[in-house]
Amino acid sequence: MKKITSPISNDFKAFTVLAETKNFTKSAAILGVSQSRLSQIIRDMEANLGFRLVNRTTRSASVTNEGVALIEQLRPLFEQVDSVVEGIKSSYGEVSGVIKISATNAGLDALLPKLATVLSANPNVVLEADLDYGMVDIVSKGFDAGIRNGENLPKDMIAIPLTPPVCTAIVATPDYFRRHGIPKTPQDLLRHRCINIRLPTHGGLYRWEFEQGEETIEMEVPSALITNSGAASLTAALAGIGLSYLPDQTVQYYLQVGLLQRVLDDWCEPYSGFYFFYPSKTLQRPAMELIIQALRQSLPEKSPL
């Protein structure tokens, strides 16, 4: 069969990337083109359209009102065309497409094992994961789906559970505890070195949460390191820098082999697990349907979903 190429304008895609990053250098790197080539693409678009799309400065680019209107009105149409093209391909047995997902490190860890088989069997389906701890509006940001814990699911979304309820694990290396002692209560953490997460949504440090019976505690702990990545927090804990606050599934292997030690278990109550979610009112592309089916098939038989 002759290969079908999507008629979506590559120039428009380049423009939408620039609108997101507001930087020619970053956009060119994402698109895999030179900065001069990207600049020429935008100039050609503006010449053909008859109006300016971007206001340029030496360090950044801001989208004009006309450019914003263009994106808002054309992006849904272009996505529909992509869906039609992928549907034609799938009718000939070829499912392809890039599925963009917004996730946390722990959420991605929960997803990937469930998709290993389907991705291996469909080499033209590409999963692109953007790791972000903020509450991302997946529709406006152009994502096909997101992964967050059940307490933070946006409304009007279809959600598929990826994990059962999870617990937070407070961990550090055995050597760290030999040097600094083992905390017996959350208040003991005030005398320890901790690895904190800075939340992108408001710039503040995440307050560690504890619960035991009727008592709940939220507290700021001293920082030995501040990061915005769960993977970096895990790496720092393994390096002996301090205590890390992570989902138990993330550290399970390291606990089993003795590289990390867990404390304050009796203060870490289960909370809602991770969910894969996507818009309920959007016609799904064949590649996305393939992933949804794989996730639903992985659900326990007693799952209500």
Establish how many alpha carbons lie within 13 A of residue 288's alpha carbon, considering only the half-sphere containing its beta carbon.
21
Please check whether residue 88 lies inside any domain of the structure. no
pLDDT at position 86 is: 58
Residue 196: pLDDT over 70: yes
The pLDDT-based confidence of 115 (bands split at 50, 70, 90) is very high
For residue 86, being part of any structural domain is answered with no
Q: Is residue 140 part of a domain?
A: yes
The whole domain housing 13 covers 1-72
Is 89 within the bounds of a domain? no
DSSP E strand boundaries for 138-273: 145-149, 157-161, 168-172, 194-197, 208-212, 215-219, 223-227, 243-247, 261-263
Which pLDDT value is given to residue 210? Answer: 94
pLDDT at 168 over 70: yes
Indicate whether 192 and 241 sit together in one domain: yes
Place of tokens 């020429």: 40
Rounded mean pLDDT, 89-118: 82
Please provide the average confidence, as pLDDT, over all residues in the chain: 84
Number of structural domains found in the chain: 3
Same domain, 183 and 260: yes
Query: In CATH, what number is assigned to the domain containing residue 250?
Result: 3.40.190.10
CATH number of the domain enclosing 25: 1.10.10.10
Cα gap 298→301, rounded to integer Å: 9
Give the dihedral of Cα atoms 298, 114, 107, 94; nearest 10 deg. -110
Domain membership flag for residue 83: no
| Same domain membership, residue 183 and residue 246 | yes
pTM over 0.85: no
In a domain, 78, yes or no: no
Report the alpha-carbon distance of residue 195 to residue 222 in Å, rounded.
Answer: 8
- 2 pLDDT tier (thresholds 50, 70, 90): very low
Contact 53, 63 (CB under 8 A): yes
Q: Residue 13: CB partners within 8 Å, gap ≥ 6?
A: 31
